[in-house]
């Protein structure tokens, strides 16, 4: 599964802005995103400031705020560049994954763990931003990630069609449980220095417990 950091698509040109100025603004934007990605991956979300991002990018602090509304919005752009290609690939592959609903969920989350293990501190920053109550509405931290929820929902709906997921279950509650378990498993990176393989094993067991709850009653 090939998906890693890629260039963030540039925004649509602003009306009335000369092309040279638009190009300069986009160059600043990309420098800020690159600098922020490196700092979030080494210092974490709380440990990274706008001032440090600006200094690392070689731009003025004012230029950062001209381009982004908040630190949370910068992190959202960083994660979008990483996650969009990943989810596009998962969207393509998941319909062809065989096995029970629990097995398909295990496969999907294993792909996530292996992918995020490459820059695990960056993903921890993504999770941490979900608890920043000052985030602007445009920020998209973990928990506001509709793509992940959509993939889980489609997997559960497929399970209902195939008969191994109850039709009377609240799908959103199952989605919330799985997303919570996934994020909480990352604590093992901090407490036990657990690698992707170890986290996958833990998540596999948790999915089994959750699956017991959504399986059809005899």
- Per-domain residue ranges of the chain: 19-214
Picking from 76, 203, 190, the residue whose alpha carbon sits closest to that of residue 152 is 203
149's tokens: 């929820």
Helix (H, G, I), strand (E, B) or coil at 104: helix
Q: pLDDT for 66-123, tens place per residue?
A: 888 889 899 988 988 888 888 888 888 888 899 999 999 999 999 999 999 999 999 9
pTM here is 0.81
Please report the pLDDT score of residue 70 as a whole number. Answer: 87
Mind giving me the DSSP string for 80-121? HHHHHHHHHHHHHHGGG--S-HHHHHHHHHHHHHHHHGGGHH
> What angle do helix axes 120-128 and 71-93 make, rounded to 10 degrees?
120
Instruction: For 19-214, give the CATH class.
Output: mainly alpha
């Amino acid at each position: 599964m090939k998906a890693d950091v890629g260039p963030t698509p540039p925004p649509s040109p602003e009306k009335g802005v000369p092309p040279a100025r638009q190009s300069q603004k986009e160059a600043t934007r990309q420098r800020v995103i690159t600098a922020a990605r490196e700092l979030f991956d080494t210092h974490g979300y709380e440990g990274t400031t706008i001032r440090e991002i600006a200094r690392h990018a070689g731009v003025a602090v004012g230029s950062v705020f001209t381009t982004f509304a908040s630190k949370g919005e910068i992190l959202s752009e960083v994660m979008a560049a990483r996650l969009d290609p990943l989810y596009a690939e998962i969207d393509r592959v998941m319909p062809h994954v065989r096995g029970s609903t629990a097995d398909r969920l295990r496969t999907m989350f294993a792909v996530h763990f292996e992918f995020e293990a490459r820059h695990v501190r960056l993903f921890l920053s993504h999770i941490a931003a979900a608890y920043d109550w000052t985030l602007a509405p445009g920020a998209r931290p973990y928990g506001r990630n509709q793509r992940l929820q959509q993939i889980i929902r489609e997997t559960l709906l497929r399970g209902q069609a195939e008969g191994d997921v109850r039709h009377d279950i609240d799908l959103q509650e199952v989605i919330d449980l799985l997303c919570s378990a996934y994020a909480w498993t990352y604590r093992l990176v901090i407490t036990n220095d657990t690698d992707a393989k170890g986290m996958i094993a833990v998540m596999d067991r948790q999915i089994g417990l959750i699956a017991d709850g959504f399986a059809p009653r005899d």
